Amino acid sequence: MRAGLSGRALRAVRLFAVLLFAGAISAADAGIPPITVDGKVPTLAPLLQRVTPAVVNIAVLAGGGESQNPLLQDPFFRRYFDVPERRQPQTSAGSGVIIDAQKGYVITNHHVVRNAREILVTLKDRRQFPAKLVGSDAGTDIALLQIEPNNLVALKFGDSDALSVGDYALAIGNPFGIGQTVTSGIVSALGRTGLNIEGYEDFIQTDASINPGNSGGALVNLRGELIGINTAIIGPSGGNVGIGFAVPSAMVQKVTAQLARFGEVRRGRFGATAQDVTPELARALDVSANEGAMLVDVVADAPAAKAGLKRGDVIVAMNGRPIRGSADLRNQLGLVPVGDVVELRFLRDGKAQTAKVTIEPPRTGLAAGRQSVPELVGAKVGNLERGGRSEAVVVVDVERGSAAWHHGLRAGDIIVGVNRRKVRSIEELGVQLRANPRPVGINILRGDFEITLVLRG
């Protein structure tokens, strides 16, 4: 205790001082100060009054469905002929963020609307709208919905690239389906990867409480700008322990631009693989950089090779944005549409150089056949043959809105394994899918990179 203050009182005084300081800083910024002092009580209420109408609740009806044969709806008939019980439709809840009031665009997580038959969006003012799924990307866990643009409020994107550890953050969503909730914290870490949550990982980590149902909700800064989409937590039994993750707004913007245009993210081919540059590797190879992505293999006649890149080159920036490692390079390349040109800054023999690379469509080789696999309803696949023998399975076509499409499969994907067990043909793929209980992971090559799609139910 100090000067007669209890520990609780001392913490309150410190919090009051921090909030006053933050409010003073924000007052210098354009727009309404996020923290105000009314009657000597600091509050975030003015900020939240502007922001929370843009955060919505999302209810999803998934699975189940009525049988086409009316006889199968009769319980006596079903028992007499030992027909299995029908799977009942399941409902789930999540959150979303309105990003375009004029077009009615709403962002949420891919896993929130996966396998959705019906999607219902509820606004803070309790108005409800059926939503159409515009597009979804399993690799980044982002989905784009559209509702009737009737007197909506949208959130403005903030610059997640400008974030620093220690910046204040607010998480807004619908935890446990109890209703809109706001929690506060700071940015705990940036660029989190290797968590095996999504295919493309560049997460913002925050200690603002994120719980089940917050998925798809907003992470905002003290200017009321959207800096991330809450997507996952680490904690026992799925509960919050102060470690939550959000997809950064820079990634969200690039993904939603393609979803709005194509209904999917069309990833292309770079034609090189890389590894992280560490201080130890830099010293061993006499490289004048302590971070970056070193090319360890460059495919002949691929876009990287055509641009003059070689094995041993260290990529340190792409389109002016720093590249800190191989995952960073993979994430950025994975968001570049086919046909776009990227400028790479790299080091070779200690000298900085630049190269312009045109991203090309992925090569799928020769696909033999066009078959359906019962476990991947809506997809047509073929054997990927090289040198007269099948080496993998290529997805030839995916029906939009089908189960396979909702699982994240796209035309051009190359299926190389199931639960990390290699498959070389359609027959092997079917055997592995039937032998492994759900959920099951399908290992695919998309462009230059391998990701895992999880099939559930």
Indicate whether 422 and 311 sit together in one domain.
no
Question: At 134, which amino acid appears?
Answer: V
What is the pLDDT confidence band of residue 433, given thresholds at 50, 70 and 90?
confident
pLDDT tens per residue across span 27-85? 434 444 455 555 567 888 889 999 999 999 999 887 544 434 444 444 444 444 454 55
pLDDT of 2 reads 38
Residue 324 has pLDDT above 60, yes or no: yes
pLDDT tens per residue across span 340-398? 899 999 988 878 899 999 988 876 555 566 788 888 888 888 887 766 677 788 888 88
pLDDT of 20 reads 45
Domain range for 427 is 366-455
Residue 8 has pLDDT above 80, yes or no: no
Q: How many domains does the chain have?
A: 4
Structural domain includes residue 78? yes
pLDDT tens per residue across span 396-411? 888 877 888 878 888 7
**Which burial class, exposed, middle or buried, applies to 49 when counting CB atoms under 10 A from its CB (0-12, 13-18, 19+)?**
exposed
DSSP codes of every residue in 232-266: EE-SGGG--SS-EEEEEHHHHHHHHHHHHHHSS--
Indicate whether 249 and 389 sit together in one domain.
no
The CATH number of the domain where 129 resides is what? 2.40.10.120
* Residue showing tokens 């990227």: 342
**Phi, psi at residue 107, to the nearest 5°?**
-95, 145
Q: What is the DSSP letter of 40?
A: T
pLDDT tens per residue across span 156-191? 999 988 899 999 999 998 877 777 889 999 999 988
d(CA 231, CA 211): 10
Please say whether the dihedral angle defined by the alpha carbons of residues 209, 210, 213 and 218, taken in this order, is positive or negative: positive
Residue 238 has pLDDT above 50, yes or no: yes
SS3 label, residue 201? coil
d(CA 425, CA 372): 13
Question: 47: which residues sit within 8 A by CB, 6+ positions away?
Answer: 32, 34, 35, 222, 224
Indicate whether 49 and 34 sit together in one domain.
no
Please say whether the dihedral angle defined by the alpha carbons of residues 96, 98, 104 and 108, taken in this order, is positive or negative: negative
Domain boundary among the residues 224, 248, 264 is at 264
Selection from 448, 456, 365, 446 nearest residue 137 by Cα: 446
Structural domain includes residue 208? yes
Region 3-12: what's the mean pLDDT? 45
Catalytic sites, residue numbers: 111, 141, 215
Residue 192 has pLDDT above 60, yes or no: yes
Indicate whether 59 and 125 sit together in one domain.
yes
Q: What is the DSSP letter of 161?
A: G
More confident residue, 416 or 457: 416
The CATH number of the domain where 330 resides is what? 2.30.42.10
Selection from 236, 245, 243 nearest residue 111 by Cα: 245
**Phi, psi at residue 298, to the nearest 5°?**
-125, 120
d(CA 294, CA 315): 6
CB 97, CB 204: distance < 8 Å:
no
Indicate whether 91 and 221 sit together in one domain.
yes
pLDDT of 41 reads 75
pLDDT tens per residue across span 78-105? 444 454 555 455 566 789 999 999 999 9
d(CA 331, CA 107): 20
Mean pLDDT, the chain, rounded, equals 78
d(CA 144, CA 62): 17
Selection from 178, 172, 190 nearest residue 229 by Cα: 172
More confident residue, 262 or 24: 262
Indicate whether 405 and 287 sit together in one domain.
no
Indicate whether 378 and 341 sit together in one domain.
no
Residue 220 has pLDDT above 90, yes or no: yes
Indicate whether 142 and 202 sit together in one domain.
yes
Residues in a beta bridge with 106: 98, 145
pLDDT of 21 reads 43
Residue 18 has pLDDT above 50, yes or no: no
Question: 445: which residues sit within 8 A by CB, 6+ positions away?
Answer: 392, 413, 414, 416
